Structure 1
Amino acid sequence: MVAVLIVDDHKHLVESLLSCVPWEEAGVTGVHGAYSGGEALETLRSKNIGILVTDIRMPGMSGLELIERARADRPELHCILLTGHAEFEYARRAIELQTFRYLMKPVRTNELVETVRLLTASSRAPAAEAAAAEPAAPEPPAELPAEPAEAKDYRRKTVEAVHEFVRERLGADVTLTAIAERVHLHPVYLSKLYKETTGTKLSDYILNARIDKAKELLLRSPMKIYEISEAVGYRSTQHFITEFKKIVGMTPKAYQSLHR
């Protein structure tokens, strides 16, 4: 059984999430609401809450402060931040607190459901089911469960969507902000997810994608160097030549002459 606690100082938002989200689809068996950090802490002490969904900006106690205090007593608590404020410091602190997800307001119902569903899938079995006969001798603590298949699939699909977007828009806007908007994630969270999933930086993928496309155009098109530079997203031809030489080991012109 997994219960969710929704926290926001705007009562109508809490009531909307409590009543309008199809929680059963996310594997949630109980959902509670609170309108302040203090009230949320009281609920966390009295209820068996598995997932905390909180606004980041609230009077008195912010969502980050709430998570920090809640995690002091309940380190296993899963946390999701809801916010309309995309400042870097908020996201950085959320990552330090190991927040599972950082969702921007107005939150999409399907996105919230999917996020919670991934968490419920990774939660341990209910205590009632886990309580078997006590072993005769003490056993070492069980290892943490492996990342659920749903979470791995979500990461894979996110990375695929990022790669598709980058390939489609090499000559246009492939900034981190633009990519994050495409996959509906905060830029800082996206960078972290991408690095953890692929083992490489997103910026390195973008650079290599540009160079690979440039190679293709150098060999298969009649475009001039400055036109290729623009086609793969460089405003400065000289910058393009410098980056190309750094990656390939020769200038675009030399590469073209060698391989044509």
Structure 2
Amino acid sequence: MYKLLIAEDVKTVRETLVRSIPWQELGVTVVGAVQNGEEALIRLEDEEPDLLLTDIGMPKMNGLELIELAQARKPDIRCIILSGLNEFEHARQAIKLQVLDYVLKPIDPGEIEKVVARAIRTLSKEREERRELDQAGQVSKDKLPHLSEMLLPGELTGNLKKKKLVEQAIQYMKEQYTRRELSLSDVAAAVGLSEKYMNLLVKDVTGATINHLIIGLRMEEAARLLKNPMNRIYEICERIGYTDQDHFRESFKKQYGLTPTEYRNQHL
């Protein structure tokens, strides 16, 4: 059985979701139906659900904020948005957060059932992929040659087949990280795995998500380019795949503790 957590602030909608859908027939157990994001995070820690069905417009914490925090704590959770806010910006943010589906209110139990069934098929496929890889057996904790130059936390673990897949993913990222549109889906497609499993596999082996590794590669290249005073900061920003200088500045400071200008002044 797969575990589902529901976050919806409207009581009647919440109760309808719990009662009107044949969860057991779908192979799903509802482990909680809460009214806001803060309660959902508590349940997330206690129940470790496989699926999160959440409204966007909730008090205390909106659905997108909840999804971002939930994915940080449980990278393999699958998320579905339920909302009456039919706005492009929300849909765009949902895609950025790798949300599995986006369902509009008023709720249609039949549509919810179809969406969850698709999610279950995706989860089943990912579990099967993981089982197949785990069957290769455990080997020694040798570092991958392509990872040795990257500043990754912890020691590499896992079996040989997993390590080879992660090595392929990181080699692809090293070749493509300057592309502005580079995303998890591109890396997963290059290796031939589903997005969620690819991200989970990389995190298992390296301790970091694919997004964090891409940012790390970009920041390392930015640091190298900043040491040459002939390279202007806005040019560096563009060369490493950023369109927004403020976003670049924030990412760089988070990695190095200094703004690009401060870093440059220290290394001239």
Structure number with greater Rg is 1
**Higher relative contact order (CA closer than 8 Å, sequence separation 6+):** 1
